[in-house]
């Protein structure tokens, strides 16, 4: 019985060898196995590269505002520059001081690069005149020539914030300390005027960067450098 079992197993192995080994040898000779492995590795590399590529969310909305030196500034003023944009107001008692502090960190890191700029747009233009904004910039310790504190028509600015960028800003004199409420988000714009952002852990665009917490500032700092290198 044992001899018959061995003969049966040997027969199966022989049949397997006859049918499959030539195919395996043929694939190896043609390099198909190696090619498939390389394609798999190549796809993984492409996926990783895609994750690190900053998403283009669209063109920055058009605007025309006045800076602290009473000079007209538009979106074209920033062409050829990587810049960070925020909505704030000078007398803000809550999140603006934190945003200011974090913007100063970006100034310290990138301020000497002529291809970097900042746009700080007030949502309280009735009080934040050019003179007030100039004093505010000086009190913060702003040294960058490319950091523009911008004021203009109130309705235009609110439209730019809520519709142009979809970054919330609102007036609430009775409910909010300071009379205005707004998000602490920073927008990142590339040299061609595109709003750019990274992806989250699930691969979704984050749209804007948290201007209040350290992880958000770290992320936008890394991505500013990426855009400056483009």
CA-wise closest residue to 187 among 211, 170, 203:
211
Residue 93: the pLDDT is 85
Distance of CA 166 to the CA centre of its chain: 15
Q: Has residue 9 got a pLDDT over 50?
A: no
Cβ–Cβ under 8 Å, residues 110 and 136: no
For the ranges 118-122, 124-128, 167-171, the lowest mean pLDDT is seen at 167-171
Cβ–Cβ under 8 Å, residues 228 and 113: yes
Which residues, 6+ apart, have CB-to-CB distance to 99 below 8 Å? 86, 88, 184, 186, 211, 212
3-class SS at 156? Answer: helix
Residue tagged 């100063």 (tokens): 104
Distance of CA 64 to the CA centre of its chain: 24
Distance between CA 172 and CA 161 in Å, rounded?
16
- 197: enclosing H helix or E strand: strand 194-197
Q: What is the pLDDT of residues 148-199, one digit of tens each?
A: 999 999 999 999 999 999 999 888 766 655 567 778 999 999 999 999 999 9
Angle at 166 between CA 164 and CA 172, to 5 degrees: 105
- pTM for the whole thing? 0.77
Q: What is the pLDDT of residues 13-41, one digit of tens each?
A: 445 444 545 554 465 455 554 455 444 43
């Amino acid at each position: 019985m044992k001899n018959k079992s061995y003969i049966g197993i040997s027969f199966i192995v022989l049949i397997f060898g006859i049918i499959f080994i030539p195919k395996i040898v043929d694939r190896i000779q043609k390099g198909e196995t190696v090619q498939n492995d390389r394609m798999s590795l190549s796809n993984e590399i492409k996926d990783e590269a895609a994750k690190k590529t900053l998403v283009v969310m669209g063109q920055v909305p058009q605007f025309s505002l006045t800076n602290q030196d009473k000079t007209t500034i538009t979106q074209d003023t920033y062409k050829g520059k990587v810049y960070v944009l925020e909505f704030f107001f000078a007398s803000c008692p809550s999140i603006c001081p934190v945003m200011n502090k974090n913007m100063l960190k970006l100034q310290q890191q990138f301020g000497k690069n002529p291809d970097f700029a900042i746009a700080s747009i007030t949502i309280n233009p009735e009080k934040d005149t050019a003179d007030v904004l100039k004093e505010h910039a000086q009190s913060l310790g702003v040294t960058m020539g490319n950091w523009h504190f911008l004021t203009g028509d109130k309705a235009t600015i609110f439209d730019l914030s809520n519709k142009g960028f979809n970054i919330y800003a609102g007036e609430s004199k009775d409910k909010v300390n300071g009379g205005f409420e707004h998000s602490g988000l920073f927008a990142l714009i590339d040299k061609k005027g595109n709003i750019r952002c990274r992806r989250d852990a699930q691969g979704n665009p984050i749209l804007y960067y948290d201007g209040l917490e350290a992880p958000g500032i770290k992320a936008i700092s890394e991505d500013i450098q990426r855009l400056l290198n483009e």
